[in-house]
Structure 1
Amino acid sequence: MRYGEATVTVVDPRSYMTYQPFLPEAAAGSISPRHVVVPLRRVLPKAEVLTGRVTTIDQDRKVASIAPLVGEAYELPFDYLVIAMGAVSRTFPIPGLAEQGIGMKGIEEAIGLRNHVLEQLDKADSTTDEEVRRKALTFVFVGGGFAGAETIGEVEDMARDAAKYYKSVKREDMRFLLVDVADKILPEVGPKLGAYGKEHLEGRGVEVYLKTGMDSCVDGHVVLNNGLEVDSNTIVWTAGVKPNPALARFGLPLGPRGHVDTQTTLQVQGTDYIWAAGDNAQVPDVVGRKAGNENAWCPPNAQHALRQAKVLGDNVISGMRGFPQKEYSHANKGAVAGLGLHKGVAMIVMGKMKIKLKGRLAWYMHRAYHGMAMPTFNRKIRVFADWTLGMFLKREVVSLGAMETPREEFYEAAKPAPKPAAAKAEPVAAAPVEEKAKAS
């Protein structure tokens, strides 16, 4: 855009963007958590960044209602609108899941999972109660896609390394379970590499249960629909995502699964001033439809979201100046996944040829691809520095569980001391006084 031609305002409840493919490595301590996030105000110096939430959108008046972190809500007028709210964890009404489950959609959850797992090792090492130890050392992961397989691979690596520093905790004492309702894991890389990933995890002692769901997990008592029951303090939920439910309040046309229904140009159906992209958009897959699949839609992954963003930006400018819109079209380039240190799978698409890699070489591909895709040169350097230091230094196994409640210790020290209870009168001494009073 020309200087002063328009004002771009970004509204987000967080002041940073999270690179989600690195969350498993952040949970395992391979990457510092602060290197996985990018501050919006630093990378968007020419935009206005508002930390808050859009609660409603009035399309007739072209006004969005903003709920800031503090203070009263206010209205923000707009000429053009871009909906890119992403996705949230897809959950089901399973008893106990809301109270016991740990998601993997944000950096806070990755940090919490790391601290939680190491805290379970602390608990197991400090008690002789076998039931308490067994529950602390049992880790259940639900969901066998990229997020689930990568997270259990990284966390198992971390727990294995951490066990070396505990006298009474060994890897053999731990139990890792990966549960999925599908008949395979890692469907994004194809059946052969998915089968390899399953065999690899099982070779490391991970129990993989396919075509299996979780019926309940009340108080950590996990009940699977294959009849297996285990007690666990750690239940990680990575069973897919769904569009942000806030979309239902905006009056936009939605698809059957809650995504914003868009044209191939990323414009929302029935409008010429609203665009949508990323995980919250239902974008027709032009390449798939040309191949004969009339119901092909772009999958919700970063490969499409990054490329959609570039087309969307150009189309917004075209809309401002009255130029025609450009279609979004992208052929799948493959997928990569890490399963822990020096372990991974990769599928690279080159025309009609698919190159399938596994093991250390695939792990190098995984790190190279995501390292280059990480936004900003600053974060790229920091991530590669973390990886380089990890080659020479041992993994950190410190649990900072107090981060969950950082003020608790200060509160205990600063709260007023309880007042001493008032002395109660002895009934034996009161009786003769009453009798004397009556006698007088």
Structure 2
Amino acid sequence: MACAPRIVIVGVWHGGMHVALRLKRLLRPGEATVTVVDAHAYMTYQPLLAEAAAGSLEPRHVVVPLRQALPWAQIITRQVLSLDHAQRTVYLRSTEGSPSPLRYDRLVWAPGSVSRLLPVPGLAEHGNGFKTVAEAIHLRNQVLGRLDAAAATSSAERRAAALTFVFVGGGFAGVEALAELQDMAHDACARYPELDPRAQRWILVEAADRILPEVGQQLSRYTADLLRRRGIDVRLGTRLLSAEGVRIRLDDGTEFDADTLVWTAGVAPSPLNRRTDLPLDERGRVRTTAFLSVVDTEDAWAVGDCAAVPDLAAGQGELCPPSAQHAVRQARVTARNVVASLRSGEPVAYRHASVGTVASLGLYQGAAEIRGVRLRGFPAWFAHRSYHLSQLPSANRRLRVVADWTLALFFPREIVSLASLEHTHDDFASAADQARPPEP
């Protein structure tokens, strides 16, 4: 009896996770085996990272454990080194030194994206990203740690630098993170009698002439005005020139010191794309057809931020933007087409008409456009939470998130920095040094 075909899914961002979940529903018993490969044993639900960073959600509740969500699939938590699709082989990092081969019959390529960095002096050394749960926790610790530093110093210059927070990038990630963390820092300042909340300086730097372009002109202006009313310095048409040391230089001529710099100015496809034999476009994305299959390549599909997927709803030559909404819907079509290939069926094309966009702007504030209806303030904030709760790919996680939100109605946020968790070995190493007998 022939072995069942093996479907390998590389990457568990929104696309890879939802392909696996949909395959479970579509595959017949014994029709194929599914193997999921990722360096992490969990999928991060990125739209809720801002709330995790601000303390509204427990960070563990915005990640979905793979072995819990996909108990029927084989889970391999190893780093992918390269792909040779001509030989139907993925090469994985191994403890033996040489790469470990993993063979397959069908491939779904979904390694996601990384932060798109520009050659700005000092950015790599002093900037913070905001794509992973680790970065969200680090940023929370950074903001609270700067409040502690500002309260402890007697230098006006050092206090000003500690209380200055710069976010570069006016898309969803940057605006939501900025709004949530400013809310948190404002609440935290009530516990610092040494600090004046008005001394905090929050700056949003955006190279384009508007923020949140996904929500339309009117809501974009509303969001910018709301942020400014909250005391946030929104600078449009402005670029970061340098971030060496703690000195921030902008192309509008201003310079100032800031201990915190967050970079959310776009994403780039995973560098792993360039270690494959799949066809890429000029930006390093895997080229696909409207059926999500890789161009001129059999038995391979690509979804999400790593792929250049034609956007049939937007018109000829347009490509889908790198968003979770597209990745989830691409995943459903991809799973259907992978199963069709097993059954010699006809594939279907991906055509997506957006139902709208939602953004959280801090507690009880938001902006949304749903099927042409614009929402602001509390209704938009409620729509944001409702939508993302429905999209979490785990009933377990949905219940935990609801519990966190419910408890937050009755108790204040936790405002303790746990930066020491990022250096857990330091105390042990220090104790070992003290215990070491002195040299004769």
State the TM-score, normalized to the length of structure 1. Answer: 0.92
Aligned partner of 1:321 in structure 2 is 343
Cα deviation, 1:146-178, whole Å, max 9, x if unaligned, reads: 111111100000000000000111211110000
Amino acid at match of 1:340: G
Aligned partner of 2:231 in structure 1 is 205
Q: Does 1:37 align with 2:59?
A: no
For the aligned residue pairs, the C-alpha RMSD in angstroms reads 1.4
Q: Does 1:306 align with 2:332?
A: no
Q: Distance in 1 between matches of 2:387 and 2:87?
A: 44
Question: Would the aligned equivalents of 1:52 and 1:69 in 2 still touch at CA under 8 Å?
Answer: no
**Quick check: 279-288 or 92-101, which moved more?**
279-288
Amino acid at match of 1:399: S
SS in 1 for 2:43: strand
Cα deviation, 1:62-106, whole Å, max 9, x if unaligned, reads: 111111478642111111111011111001111111111110000
Q: Distance in 2 between matches of 1:310 and 1:68?
A: 32
Aligned partner of 1:255 in structure 2 is 281
Q: What are the within-5 Å matches in structure 2 for residues 22-421 of structure 1? A: 22-68=48-94, 72-289=98-315, 294-349=316-371, 354-416=372-434
SS in 1 for 2:150: helix
Aligned partner of 1:425 in structure 2 is none
**Amino-acid identity (%):** 48
Q: Distance in 2 between matches of 1:34 and 1:421?
A: 46
Q: Distance in 1 between matches of 2:395 and 2:259?
A: 39
Pair 1:278–1:420, CA change in 2 (3 A)? closer
RCO higher in structure (CA 8 A, sep ≥6): 2
Aligned length: 414
Q: Distance in 2 between matches of 1:23 and 1:168?
A: 30
Unaligned runs of 5+ in 1: 423-440
Pair 1:4–1:212, CA change in 2 (3 A)? same
Amino acid at match of 2:330: Q
Question: Would the aligned equivalents of 1:87 and 1:241 in 2 still touch at CA under 8 Å?
Answer: yes
Amino acid at match of 1:105: K
Q: Distance in 2 between matches of 1:224 and 1:69?
A: 46
Pair 1:107–1:420, CA change in 2 (3 A)? closer
Pair 1:146–1:418, CA change in 2 (3 A)? same
Amino acid at match of 1:215: L
Q: Distance in 2 between matches of 1:139 and 1:384?
A: 30
Aligned partner of 2:11 in structure 1 is none
Instruction: State the Cα distance separating 1:295 from its structure 2 match.
Output: 2.1
Pair 1:420–1:266, CA change in 2 (3 A)? closer
**Quick check: 251-260 or 110-119, which moved more?**
251-260
Amino acid at match of 2:128: I
Question: Would the aligned equivalents of 2:81 and 2:99 in 1 still touch at CA under 8 Å?
Answer: no
Instruction: State the Cα distance separating 1:417 from its structure 2 match.
Output: 5.0
Instruction: State the Cα distance separating 1:256 from its structure 2 match.
Output: 2.3
Q: Distance in 2 between matches of 1:416 and 1:395?
A: 38
Question: Would the aligned equivalents of 1:338 and 1:344 in 2 still touch at CA under 8 Å?
Answer: yes
Instruction: State the Cα distance separating 1:395 from its structure 2 match.
Output: 1.1
Instruction: State the Cα distance separating 1:326 from its structure 2 match.
Output: 1.0
